[in-house]
Structures are given as C-alpha cells and as structure tokens.
C-alpha cells in the first residue's frame, strides 16, 4: 500500500525538504512552484481642495486608494511511500521522533530583564553614593527602594539565567536526538543494520 503526503515549502528549502523526506523513505512524485497573487488596499488618502477649488472644479476633494500586490510563492511537493517497505514501523517511529525534536523552540536569553535589573541597580548605587557624598539623610521610602531593587532583581535574574541554561541544554539535546533519528532512519532506508556485530573472543 502506498501512502501520500503533500508539503508546501519555500523554494529555497526545497532541496533540504527533499533530503529529509528521502531519509524516511519518502519519494518525490511531483513538485510544482505556485504563485498566488492578490491585490490589497494599503490605505485611502483624501485631499480637500477648499471652497475656492470646489467652485472651480466642482469637486470637494480627491480620493487616492493605495494598493499593493501580495505575492505568495511556494513549492507544492507531493511524496509517496510504500508501507510494505522493510522496517516501516521503525522508520515511522524515528520520523515522529525527528519532527517532535526539531519542533522545540530555541530558548531566549533573559537579556531584557537583565538590562532592566542592571540599570535599576546602577541608579540605586549612584543615588546612595550621591546621598552619602552630599550628607543627605534618606527617607524611609528611599531606603526601602534601595533594599528592594537588589533583593528582587538579583535572585530573579539568577533564576532566569539558570532556567535559560537548563532549557538550552534540553534544546541542544533534542537537536542531537533529531540528528540521531535522521541518521538511524537513513541507515534503515539504505539497508544498513543498526545492530553492531559481536566481537569474537
């Protein structure tokens, strides 16, 4: 039995998609580049001529509709695969593992929070130095702010960076799992056994 699937990809990724699908036993049946063009309204400009021009032209203004063309360009790739191929179930399992691994999002550095925290603490430090050098006695709310800023931001920034490093390690491990699944599937499709021969003693 032959199973089919169709993928729509950007033209620059056509070769990569072809190689990935071939690793899981999919064969390209047809490939067609498709252009979808639509015209959309970007805005409307209305210009008033004023009373003098209205009497002179008979019009009270001019309407200009701004339009632009929206062109969608993609390649429709149709693949087929024989479900009776050797190791079909293993290949499907590896394919599922591959796509679930590459779907993971790369973690983002907590750069914004870190920058806000650093700026806030710099302001607090400058304020404290300025108050000490000027001999100004701080009010209660000022003391509370000076205490609250490092107490809140320092632990929060540390926790965020630890979480980022942990999630980055997990993301990299998932990318490695995806690469391993792809390699294992390629070996099965090419008829190379995953079993390592035992050494003779």
The pTM score is: 0.64
Angle between helices 14-23 and 140-189 (to 10 degrees): 60
Report for 28-42, 55-69, 104-118: range of highest mean pLDDT:
104-118
162 pLDDT more than 90? yes
Report for 37-41, 125-129, 153-157: range of highest mean pLDDT:
153-157
Q: How far apart are CA 21 and CA 13, in angstroms?
A: 12
Other beta carbons within 10 angstroms of residue 126's beta carbon come to 10
Specify the higher pLDDT residue, 172 or 191.
172
195 pLDDT more than 80? no
pLDDT digits (tens, 9 = 90+) for 49-80: 555 545 554 555 566 666 777 778 889 999 99
Is-contact 4 77, C-beta < 8 A? no
Quick one: which H or E segment has residue 58? none
DSSP state of 10: -
CA 53 vs. chain centroid, Å, equals 54
Q: How far apart are CA 89 and CA 78, in angstroms?
A: 21
């Amino acid at each position: 039995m032959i199973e089919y699937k169709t993928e729509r990809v950007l033209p620059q990724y056509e070769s990569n998609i072809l190689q990935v699908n071939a690793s899981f036993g999919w064969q390209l049946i047809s490939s067609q580049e498709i252009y979808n063009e639509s015209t959309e309204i970007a805005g409307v400009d209305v210009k008033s001529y004023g009373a003098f021009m209205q009497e002179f032209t008979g019009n009270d203004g001019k309407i200009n509709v701004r339009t632009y063309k929206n062109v969608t360009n993609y390649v429709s790739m149709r693949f087929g695969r024989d479900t009776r191929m050797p190791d079909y179930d293993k290949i499907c399992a590896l394919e599922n593992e591959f796509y679930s691994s590459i779907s993971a999002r790369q973690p983002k550095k907590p750069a914004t929070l870190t920058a806000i925290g650093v700026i806030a603490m710099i302001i607090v430090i400058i304020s404290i130095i300025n108050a000490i050098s000027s001999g100004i006695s701080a009010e209660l709310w000022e003391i509370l702010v000076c205490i609250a800023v490092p107490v809140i931001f320092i632990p929060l920034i540390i926790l965020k960076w630890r979480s980022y490093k942990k999630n980055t390690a997990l993301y990299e491990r998932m990318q490695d799992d995806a690469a391993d699944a792809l390699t294992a599937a390629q070996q099965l499709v090419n008829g190379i056994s995953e079993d390592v021969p035992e050494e003779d003693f």
